[in-house]
Amino acid sequence: MPFSIHFSPETVRLGRAMNQRLSSLSTTFRRISSGVRVSQASDNAATLKINSQLEAQLRATQKEIAGTIQKTSMLQTLEDALAQSEERMLKMRTLALEAANGSRSFMDRQALNLELNSIMEELNAISDEAVFNGIKLLDADEPLMLSLNHDEPSKQLLKVNSVRPDQLARQSSASISMISMAQGHTSM
């Protein structure tokens, strides 16, 4: 059950828009650093207005860049935690298959069960430690939402709210129930 973060075409579009804004920011810096200083409207009203607009644009672009950097950092933290969780879940699957194949003794299966419990504790620890700015990324009460653009609504990042083994089991059971209900309705 690999986890991955997919970027949609709108993400690419937003990246292109950010590059255009960075180019605009570069132009703004070039204009401001040219040495032209206007401190009063009586010096040159038109230049003062342009200067004020450029400074406002610069501040807005800097805030957008800071927000984008923060979102990128959060996604990197999330990606790392998901990779660690995936590794543990694959190990759990391997242990379960090994225990179920019938070639292991009772004592061997008990040892495999102890290792499985240890891995579940590791998953719980990963879930507890995956925090970004005080937000639990893998053990949330609510879905993890992110907006890539301030003009668009936030979108849910993960289909599950937790990677804790007990939560995953409940979410899987709910998904199986929903699928069987949907299949029951379509076969009628």
Higher pLDDT, 101 or 122: 122
Nearest to 14 by CA among 26, 22, 2: 22
Task: Report yes or no: 138 and 163 within 8 Å, Cβ to Cβ.
Answer: yes
Total number of domains in the chain: 1
Q: Report yes or no on 2 lying in a domain.
A: no
**pLDDT, tens digit, for every residue of 27-71?**
777 666 665 555 445 556 777 788 788 889 999 889 888 888 888
Residue at 1 is within a domain? no
In whole angstroms, give the CA distance from residue 130 to residue 81. 6
Tell me if 39 is assigned to some domain. Answer: yes
| Percent of the residues in the chain that have a pLDDT greater than 70, as a whole number | 65
- pTM equals 0.59
Stated as kind and residue range, the H or E segment containing 131 is strand 131-132
Tell me, what CATH number does 122's domain have? 1.20.1330.10
> Mean pLDDT, the chain, as a whole number?
75
In this structure, is residue 3 part of a structural domain?
no
Residues 6+ apart with CB under 8 A from 54: 28, 31, 32
Q: Is residue 4 part of a domain?
A: no
Residue range of the domain that includes 104: 9-186
**pLDDT, mean of residues 139-161:** 69
The pLDDT tens digits of the residues spanning 2-35 come to 566 666 677 777 778 888 888 888 777 766 666 5
Query: Could you tell me if residue 108 is inside a domain?
Result: yes
Instruction: Tell me, yes or no, whether 96 lies in a domain.
Output: yes
